[in-house]
Structure 1
Amino acid sequence: MANSNVLLLNILHMILLWRLNFSEAQLVPAVFIFGDSIADVGNNNYLKNTIAKANFTPNGIDFPGMTPTGRFCNGKNIADFIAERAGLPSSPPYLSLVSRSGEINNATSFLTGANFASAAAGILNSTGTIFGEVIPLSTQIDYFATVSKELKQQLGPSAAQKFFAKSIIVIETGNNDVIFSALLPDPSGKNNTPQQLVDLVPAILEEQLRRLYDYGARKFVVMGASAVGCCPFLRAWDEGGECNEVLNSLSITYNEGVEPMLRKLKSEIKDMSYTYCDSYGVLQHLIQNAKLYGFEEIKAACCGQGNYRGKLTCFETSPHCSNRSDYLFWDPFHPTEAAQRILVDIIFDGPSKYTFPLSLRQLIAL
């Protein structure tokens, strides 16, 4: 048994050495993804008590093999495209890599990263629980802590530290906190207004980023809340199909709290680096310049029901469009594969108007 453990440790060291001296095509050793349904690649498939799942057609109609994987999209999502641009395979859903009791099956599975994102989840632990079981950001980071501990044991603290320091940590969350704070009563029972709830969230996000740092993370990609008021679900309730400016103003409030928080964090933690993506500005840019990017339809969803196919979400029986690349939105809440690819292109290379103080490419190069 001792000899087999030594052999396994040697294999892990060899793999890690290869990861840390990767080819030109592979820009980082690993990508770890945290977030909600925009970035979920199938974690919610493993949750028994939730209705927030997309493991049915026509979801995945443009995914390789035309397979519904749990992605809330017609094809690949931002998690896939970020990994692709970094020269890596898509980070697998964390829950696919652990046993039912939560034990890690194989530590080498995490040497290219993992995806912890969970549909309907948010920064507040209460966000999304109306759909049943979800994995809030705090629990996603608990899972990352398990990965960090395992790799430190298997590889040794020094090698694991180098691995995590070179890896990219993507935080795509906040949208659900904005939406649920506006549409549902304060779950705490304190009767906070939507504005008050959203004001609380950046400080909680800061706590979680500090935890990630403590577990070894150094390079962060933080995405702001999008213009959620412009999704088909919110447009569907307006007679003219216009954006819901109440929701959009809450997104702006959230973002105005996150940006200074990140600057403050960087001033206090010198070896932390970050890229902030102005998701709100990017979506507005795509709406205002739709034809430039090949989009013919910006208000209606490709798959859904009701006004603008936005009132009911995408089900197996829902009508869906055949010209999916012409649509900005796949379903009432989520962009199409085409739109998500463009978003990642912007994150990766700028312009600095939407990604600052660094683009993702610049962050990787540090």
Structure 2
Amino acid sequence: MGAQKQNKAQKYRPQQKNIAQNLLRQARDTFLVGALPIALVVTTPAVAQAFTGLYVFGDSLSDTGNVYRLTGNLFPPSPPYFNGRASNGPLWVEDLATLLGLPVDPNKNFAYISATSGDTNTAPIPGLPGLQQEFQQFQLTNPVVDPDALYTVLVGNNDYLGGGQTNPAVPVGNTIDFVRSLADSGARNILVSNLPDLGKIPLVTGDPTTSAGLTALTTAHNALLAGQIDLLRQARPDLTLISVDVASLLNNAIRSPQQFGLTNVTDACLPFSPGLELFPTQPACSNPDTYLFWDRIHPGRVGHQQIANTAFRAIESAAVPEPVTTLGMFTFAAFLAGAKAKRRKLKGVR
């Protein structure tokens, strides 16, 4: 899938990688770290960092309103859901955009609730796309691909939850093919997340057999995905491939909820299973920010904030690319100048 264009890009020099990493840390540390665990790592970025935009692909964990608009603002029902998101607040990609100093542009979000990694969608709504159609939509609206933007991919949950998939090689293969297609079209900075342990979502924890099976599938999926990403890094040194470990984040939150300001990591605040039920029949809890799960499948806004923090730290530790375009060079220069000025200001008040 995708045009097979081979774009040239320089390898990133180690000294520039180190400089960029240090500046990212300084820019982050300049601002207040939230006193509560639900706060984002950074409240307001000083300058836009090296990326020129944020493009989003995936499923309900990343869909900021595409299905909502297609259904005439009917699904997911809002309220109790937040403005068409499958959660009670902004999603991790929106929080990540804030951390990176980038605008949240709905025209750059191609994720759809219930999308699988293939060409199907498990929602009982005709015509919704899978990941492969998301790429086709992206190509139609982006004939020229921005090499200095960041592209996020989080997909595979619905292959197992509603798609009946029992072979992790299939969704992992689809995901890697998708990343290759993005790269072949001109993308150079691609963030790929693994899957949370689906055996721990409230929808299935009451059924030990189903829970154990989903845990086994997602564990195998994540191991295979990590190996394939490593192979792709070796084959395509021109790319910056950023891995985000959502699985470990979820497991840590369940083991140590107090570190995240949570008190309930097993139940759903809203006892509702989107896709299996039409509308909620019971009210949401009164303290959703103390719950890890908003409904029986999806994390709440606190969970999404923590995913964004995890993604930001992964970006921080990865190689920040030399900009390819003139606009990217200008943005990167602004980032360097802003961080340097902030460092001088801080030095003067010590």
TM bin (shorter chain) = 0.7 to 0.9
User: 1:38 maps to which residue?
Assistant: 61
**CA distance in structure 1 between the aligned counterparts of 2:96 and 2:243, rounded to whole angstroms:** 14
Per-residue deviation at 1:244?
A: 1.0
User: 1:229 maps to which residue?
Assistant: 199
Greater relative contact order, per chain length (Cα 8 Å cut-off, separation 6+): 2
SS in 2 for 1:259: helix
Are 1:211 and 2:181 counterparts? yes
User: 1:57 maps to which residue?
Assistant: 79
Alignment deviations for residues 41-99 of structure 1 (CA, whole Å, 9 cap, x no partner): 11112335998x21421112xxxxxxxx210111111121111111122231x4xxxxx
Cα gap change, 1:48 to 1:336, in 2 (>3 Å): closer
Alignment deviations for residues 12-45 of structure 1 (CA, whole Å, 9 cap, x no partner): xxxxxxxxxxx95212210000010011011112
SS in 2 for 1:244: helix
Cα gap change, 1:130 to 1:311, in 2 (>3 Å): closer
Alignment deviations for residues 80-133 of structure 1 (CA, whole Å, 9 cap, x no partner): 1111111122231x4xxxxxxxxxxxxxxxxxxx10000000102234155433
Q: Please tell me whether the aligned partners of residues 40 and 115 of structure 1 are also in contact (alpha carbons under 8 angstroms).
A: yes
Cα gap change, 1:126 to 1:77, in 2 (>3 Å): same
**CA distance in structure 2 between the aligned counterparts of 1:313 and 1:336, rounded to whole angstroms:** 19
User: 2:139 maps to which residue?
Assistant: 145
Alignment deviations for residues 112-155 of structure 1 (CA, whole Å, 9 cap, x no partner): xx100000001022341554332211111112212321xx3xxx
User: 1:329 maps to which residue?
Assistant: 293
**CA distance in structure 1 between the aligned counterparts of 2:72 and 2:129, rounded to whole angstroms:** 12
Identify which of 281, 290, 293 aligns with 2:248. 281
**CA distance in structure 2 between the aligned counterparts of 1:131 and 1:252, rounded to whole angstroms:** 30
User: 2:152 maps to which residue?
Assistant: 170
**CA distance in structure 2 between the aligned counterparts of 1:122 and 1:363, rounded to whole angstroms:** 28
Per-residue deviation at 1:312?
A: 6.6
Provide the aligned length of Structure 1 versus Structure 2: 276
Are 1:81 and 2:75 counterparts? no
**CA distance in structure 1 between the aligned counterparts of 2:256 and 2:276, rounded to whole angstroms:** 27
**CA distance in structure 2 between the aligned counterparts of 1:168 and 1:121, rounded to whole angstroms:** 21
RMSD: 2.6
**CA distance in structure 2 between the aligned counterparts of 1:274 and 1:253, rounded to whole angstroms:** 20
Cα gap change, 1:290 to 1:126, in 2 (>3 Å): same
Cα gap change, 1:287 to 1:310, in 2 (>3 Å): farther
Are 1:26 and 2:26 counterparts? no
Structure-to-structure mapping, 1:1-366, within 5 angstroms:
24-27=46-49, 28-48=51-71, 53-60=75-82, 69-92=83-106, 94=107, 114-128=108-122, 130-149=124-143, 152=144, 164-181=146-163, 184=164, 194-196=165-167, 198-237=168-207, 244-304=211-271, 315=279, 317-349=281-313, 359-363=314-318, 365-366=320-321
Percent identity over paired residues = 23
- AA aligned to 2:147 is A
Q: Please tell me whether the aligned partners of residues 50 and 132 of structure 1 are also in contact (alpha carbons under 8 angstroms).
A: no
Q: Please tell me whether the aligned partners of residues 202 and 258 of structure 1 are also in contact (alpha carbons under 8 angstroms).
A: yes
Contiguous gaps of at least 5 residues in structure 1: 1-22, 61-68, 95-113, 153-159, 185-193, 350-358
When normalised by structure 2's length, the TM-score is: 0.72
SS in 2 for 1:79: helix
SS in 2 for 1:34: strand
**CA distance in structure 1 between the aligned counterparts of 2:105 and 2:97, rounded to whole angstroms:** 7
Q: Please tell me whether the aligned partners of residues 231 and 332 of structure 1 are also in contact (alpha carbons under 8 angstroms).
A: yes
Per-residue deviation at 1:214?
A: 1.8
When normalised by structure 1's length, the TM-score is: 0.69
**CA distance in structure 1 between the aligned counterparts of 2:171 and 2:64, rounded to whole angstroms:** 24
Structure 1 residue runs of 4 or more that deviate by more than 6 Å after TM superposition: 309-312
User: 1:108 maps to which residue?
Assistant: none
Per-residue deviation at 1:313?
A: 5.5
Q: Please tell me whether the aligned partners of residues 125 and 136 of structure 1 are also in contact (alpha carbons under 8 angstroms).
A: yes
